[in-house]
Amino acid sequence: MIRPIYVYGSKVLREIAKPADLGKVEEIRQLVGDLWETLAASDGCGLAAPQIGESVRVVVVNGDVMSDVYPYLKGFKRTFVNPVILESSEETATYNEGCLSVPGVYCDVVRPRKIKVEYYDGDLEKKVEEFDNFAARMVEHEFSHLDGVLFTDLVAPIRRKLVAKKLQKISAGRTPAAYKTKLVK
């Protein structure tokens, strides 16, 4: 089911998400299905459960939508349940990020260039995998949502001041988006 995307100013986006109960397989499958359907309808490359109002540690990413810019992302689709970053490289990379929960705002963000992650996939099988470049970026961005962190929290203070008015408009419910949104304070 396509769900509305919660936008900047919504309380759920600032909560630390609780682990998914791996014993509730059908609930997890339903949530994962909703995330994939909502992501497809919103034209994004990743979505975390808090962005659809569920404070649970579940994320989906779809690199296919970025494969015209980053060909190595062709076919890159992952579901992450209860992910943990085991290692992060000291080497960093800067990319211009945006977010479905912060429509119309884009900022350069510095993050580790490589990460190693332990997680359960969509079949609830445990995996350990390494990601680098833009794949790591997508994963790190979405994992930040699980800890109540938005990309705008990670930008240089001067940049944050420059986007402050846009953020205020979003949190006041006055920013249109091409997909269904919701603001719950």
The mean pLDDT value for 18-45 works out to 97
Is the pLDDT at 151 greater than 90, yes or no?
Answer: yes
Whole-model pTM? 0.96
- Please tell me the distance from the alpha carbon of residue 165 to that of residue 162, in angstroms, as a whole number: 7
> pLDDT confidence of 92, banded at 50, 70, 90?
very high
Query: Which residue is listed with tokens 């890159």?
Result: 76
The residue type at 130 = E
Q: Which two tokens stand for residue 119?
A: 């997680």
Q: Percent of the chain having pLDDT more than 90?
A: 99
Enzyme catalytic residues: 142
Nearest in space to 55 (alpha carbons), one of 13, 9, 1:
13
E-strand ranges in 33-120 read: 46-48, 58-62, 77-88, 92-99, 102-112, 114-120
Q: Is the CB of residue 94 less than 8 Å from the CB of residue 109? A: yes
